[in-house]
Amino acid sequence: MTGVRPRFVAITGATASGKTDLSLALARLMPVEIVSMDSRQVYRGMDIGTDKVDRAGREAVPHHGLDLVDPHERYSAGRFARDVRRWIVDIESRGSLPLLVGGTGFFLRSLMEPIFREPELDRERREVLRAWLGGRSAEELARMVRRLDPERAELAVQGGPQRMGRAIEVALLTGVPLSVWHREAPPDGEGVPGVVLVLDLPREEMDRRIDDRVGRMVDRGLVDEVRRLLDAGAADDAPGMTGTGYREISAFLRGETTLDGAMDEIRRQTRRYARRQVTWFRHQLPDSAVRIDATLPLARQVATALSALRAAGIEVPERRTHSDAGAEAPGSRHA
Q: What DSSP string runs through 46-71? A: --TTTT---HHHHHHS-EESSS-B-T
The arrangement of strands across the sheet holding 195-200 comes to 63-64, 32-36, 97-101, 9-13, 195-200, 290-293
- CA distances to 14, 56, 210, 212 from 263, in Å: 19, 27, 11, 11
Query: Would you state the pLDDT for residue 113?
Result: 87
Task: Name the nearest CA neighbour of 223 among 259, 261, 265.
Answer: 259
Report the interhelical angle of 105-112 vs 77-93 (nearest 10°): 70
Task: Name the nearest CA neighbour of 208 among 301, 257, 252, 274.
Answer: 274
SS3 82: helix
Query: Would you state the pLDDT for residue 325?
Result: 56
How confident is the prediction along the chain (335 residues), in pLDDT tens digits per residue? 456 789 999 999 999 999 999 999 999 999 999 999 999 999 999 999 999 999 999 999 999 999 999 999 989 888 999 999 999 999 999 999 999 999 999 999 999 988 766 677 888 898 899 889 988 898 999 999 999 999 989 888 877 787 899 899 999 999 999 888 877 767 667 899 999 999 999 999 999 999 999 999 999 999 999 999 999 999 888 889 988 999 999 999 999 999 999 999 999 999 999 999 999 999 999 999 999 999 999 999 999 999 999 999 998 876 554 455 555 544 456 66
Query: Would you state the pLDDT for residue 187?
Result: 65
Task: Name the nearest CA neighbour of 87 among 36, 50, 142.
Answer: 36
User: Strand 9-13 vs strand 195-200: parallel, antiparallel, or unpaired?
Assistant: parallel
Query: Would you state the pLDDT for residue 114?
Result: 81
Task: Name the nearest CA neighbour of 182 among 195, 198, 200, 163.
Answer: 163
DSSP code at position 188:
S
DSSP code at position 262:
H
Q: What is the set of domains in the chain, with CATH numbers?
A: 9-115+188-326 (3.40.50.300), 123-184 (1.10.20)
Query: Would you state the pLDDT for residue 322?
Result: 46
* Tally of helices (H runs) and strands (E runs) in the chain: 15, 6
Roughly how many angstroms between the first and final C-alpha of the chain, as a whole number?
A: 29
